[in-house]
Structure 1
């Protein structure tokens, strides 16, 4: 069997693993209704809660909202709506479409998430020319955005769409507040700036919608996703939740389990198809590698069939779905002896001297 070897410079991503991962691995809530139905339900709840003007407006622009959310590359399935009261519509009149879209964000943001965002954090909106900024600090009793306070808890939340009441319309062309105006701000040369939303947010949404909640949670917990100007190239081989749930209480293996499903480069499905049978890639686990093999036009990674190629991809990350976990080398050897019909997988383990 011909073999080519590709060795890549690897780096160690930062890891935060929380006990909440156990929830995702043991219980899956039923999927929310599709976005159009979510907006219909949200409009009805707004009307029943006394926000009649915003309810009618939402019914009129629902198609535009879904279209704009899709153009923002956030799958069109997550949305946060900030609703002014009817009195604001009476005083202001019917706002322009651009202005009303400022009150829609293509991310699903819970109240606790809003409370945790630092002062001056930018929140994306569907308005083409304006943005939203957090103007409250952690010590404030209420969250404010663009100097407009959020009123209480969400009016509506189905897992896709969240609706908050606010005291008035957001101001267009609001200037991002300077961080040093935050009374709690203390300058420190040791501090770094983190983005309020991880670059893994979009791929995480997609994985959750396809039943890969555990791998989605692993990606969401990576601190590197919140760092600016960080070069990152990644291929993720994502096993289904059913394959990972048996490790839900085994915290010591989480790091190795996650890392052995990554390759530090972008490998699209077309790239995998064009590779020489037996091409080997160094991955993130010291001493281990992943080998791509093919049998009758079916591609395998370390003997595991790639069942859902190109689940998600952009210019720096691609996700391929698997039905099962990528096994450790000793597991592969045992399975090959037990099942001689299974396609041969050659996994060579060479000492990793890259750190010496």
Structure 2
């Protein structure tokens, strides 16, 4: 009986001891959930290795700056631009870009796709927000106007990394607030959602054009930015920098003639147009004309205003498509009911003289010159 009583007392003591130890362990700062998380949660120590392993060396080099620039210690989501895109902006601050491309919290792609159109998420840069927009039809997601092309590259429960096409320019101080639309001498603005989308798509287009060798056009679009915001969509026919510097400089002053407003004509749309189809341009009263319809094969490719399209669909997003040209469009006018077979020679000769050194001087409007110009159209 005594032995049994001793065993009961010993068992009671052991149980009490275990309870005390468990209570102390639970209350100990070293093992509390928040403390345990703190051991691993300072994300500057995680960003470097993760971004390096994924190939984002430029961002990885700026990861250490987070230790002094932010107090956030929780999970985060990074929208990571490639090294090549960051190198196109030597004036940009990579540490600041890292903050502006990072938002607190975990946002895998399935969660981003469920956010309301135009949702603004504050970044690690105080007072700077990224705008999230998604196209429900194509399941594409855009952040700050830049497409998320490599979603969910990494997700370990503390860090989510999405690869994006290009990079997001430094955010403005009022990026967390709804932009105020100014009333200039333009027609009433489109719905707010469409306005924001065109704004983001224009920025996306300008960035990609600059990276792709069309920086002069990107600058011209920036100059006409306020006017272009009122468009729903647009089709742009473009010259690259080399062609402009080689003699196509009047393309910039004639840019409005190379933009079809409120129509997004991709390659399949253009190739389906019959001959003599007229396309309106931003230049009041001036139209482009399909002078040769598609279907003629490589010896008779499609031409607009007698100029062959050099690169179809070389840049496009949700609102804008850009096609490459070898030279600016000449202005043409109808001479009879059969179509557009006469070119305003003065305009054409100026354009041709800049591109072909073999043409001697300015051609005069004689009968022999007219046949020469016509042959040149079909030789482009």
TM-score band w.r.t. shorter chain: 0.3 to 0.5
| Between structures 1 and 2, the one with greater helix share | 2
TM-score, normalized by length of structure 1? 0.47
TM-score, normalized by length of structure 2? 0.45
